[in-house]
Amino acid sequence: MKARIVVLGGDGIGPEVTAEAVRALNAIAKQFGHAFEYSEYPIGGISIDTTGSALTDQTLNACKSSDAVLLGAVGGPKWDDPNAKVRPEQGLLGLRKGLGLYANLRPVKTYQSLLEISPLKSERLKDVDVLVVRELTGGLYFGEPRVRERVNGYVRAVDTLVYHDYEIERVVKLAFELSRGRRKKVTSVDKANVLESSRLWRQTANTVKEKHPDIALDHMLVDTAAMRLISSPANFDVLVTENMFGDILTDEASMLAGSMGMLPSASLGDGGPGVYEPIHGSAPDIAGKGIANPVGAILSAALLLRYSLKLENEARAIESAVETAIARGARSADLGGTLTTRHMTDEIISHIR
């Protein structure tokens, strides 16, 4: 198979980890006889510095005409001024919206040999395998109006939490479909005891459930879900929720795996290229040191193979290579080890079969 992959390294450790994901993809291409072609474009802070915009038309158009996009991370202290007109994160949000990527898949799995590095008790972490499906193009992140204004001598800021039924329906439907290949249990997370948008979310989820009689659906309030992710994480199969709740819950859930550095994500829409990125940020404190954990990016490359290129065996080959490497003791700094980004990748690649 031939595929054109756009690589958006972005800021901080972003380019370091996407480079390793590309090496893993090349190992797969060699092993399985594929031809992957890469082209790099700027996004985020680096794009602001060179073009004045966090996401240029050139970058967005390149992504639109690709088969898939591999992304590193955006942001950093250099661009953090709250009064700045342009911010790196606008690049990421613009990309999600521009490609219509309404579903963000964030699988969280624990590795037996990493249980003790999690801040949580090992016995609670056994058999944890949660797929969080986060809505990605609605809610507070995109709602209008969004203003800062002076009213009666006070400064007032407004963000808007808005959802249409069709936005809820398509992402919940995807969660149901994904759970069919798993344990057939969807937990829809909302704040229906307070928010109108959450009541619509809950009703819409129930409507979708009617068309999926073989899948169990339960509803959970977001505060309860935050607690249950810590107290009984193994009980979750697929968790589907709105944009902001999903953002918060997935950082929390990453601690089940021991390190943010371990977790991949896939952002998908209806057809068109998906965007694949680790869930960690640009980690400016360790940028340039060559010690970032490449696993999140490499597992994102596995998701790219699975969802955009439909290469399931190749995706599994990466995932089991990561498992073997971890089981045999490969550890980057965040996992309490000493392997550099590059050596960690070498270990993983050596187990690709």
Residues near ligand IPM (CB under 6 A) are: 75, 89, 92, 247, 279
The C-alpha atoms of residue 12 and residue 87 are separated, in whole angstroms, by 15
Angle at 31 between CA 71 and CA 69, to 5 degrees: 15
Known active-site residue 251: yes
Using the contact rule CB under 5 A, the part of the chain among 45-53, 150-158, 245-253, 315-323 near Mg ion is 245-253
Q: Which of 41, 102, 190, 191 is catalytic?
A: 191
Task: Report the residue number whose CB is nearest to ligand IPM.
Answer: 89
Using the contact rule CB under 5 A, the part of the chain among 102-110, 243-251, 285-293, 318-326 near Mg ion is 243-251
What are residue 241's DSSP bridge partners?
134, 189
Known active-site residue 165: no
User: Which residue is associated with the tokens 């999690």?
Assistant: 118
Closest of 306, 299, 322, 282 to residue 73, by C-alpha: 282
User: Which residue is associated with the tokens 């795996």?
Assistant: 257
Q: Which of 102, 141, 163, 307 is catalytic?
A: 141
Q: Which of 97, 159, 184, 251 is catalytic?
A: 251
Q: Which of 247, 276, 307, 334 is catalytic?
A: 247
Residue 135 interacting with Mg ion (CB under 5 A): no
Residue 242 interacting with Mg ion (CB under 5 A): no
Known active-site residue 127: no
Instruction: Report CA Rg, the chain.
Output: 20
Give whichever of 11 and 319 is closer to ligand IPM, judged by the CB atom: 11
Give whichever of 92 and 326 is closer to ligand IPM, judged by the CB atom: 92
Using the contact rule CB under 5 A, the part of the chain among 190-198, 234-242, 244-252, 330-338 near Mg ion is 244-252
The C-alpha atoms of residue 96 and residue 273 are separated, in whole angstroms, by 11
Residue 223 identity (one-letter amino acid):
D
Known active-site residue 276: no
Q: C-beta of 37: minimal distance to Mg ion in Å?
A: 30
Give whichever of 208 and 266 is closer to ligand IPM, judged by the CB atom: 266
Task: Compute the half-sphere exposure of residue 150: CA atoms within 13 Å on the CB side of its CA.
Answer: 1
Give whichever of 3 and 279 is closer to ligand IPM, judged by the CB atom: 279
Q: C-beta of 274: minimal distance to Mg ion in Å?
A: 18
Known active-site residue 78: no
The C-alpha atoms of residue 71 and residue 220 are separated, in whole angstroms, by 32
The C-alpha atoms of residue 43 and residue 58 are separated, in whole angstroms, by 10
Which of the listed partners (Mg ion, ligand IPM, none) does 92 bind, with a CB threshold of 5 to 8 Å by partner kind? ligand IPM
> Cβ neighbours of residue 270 under 8 Å, at least 6 residues apart?
100, 170
Task: Compute the half-sphere exposure of residue 331: CA atoms within 13 Å on the CB side of its CA.
Answer: 14
Residue 190 identity (one-letter amino acid):
D
Residue 319 interacting with Mg ion (CB under 5 A): no
Residue numbers annotated as active site = 141, 191, 223, 247, 251
What is the binding site for Mg ion (CB under 5 A)? Answer: 247
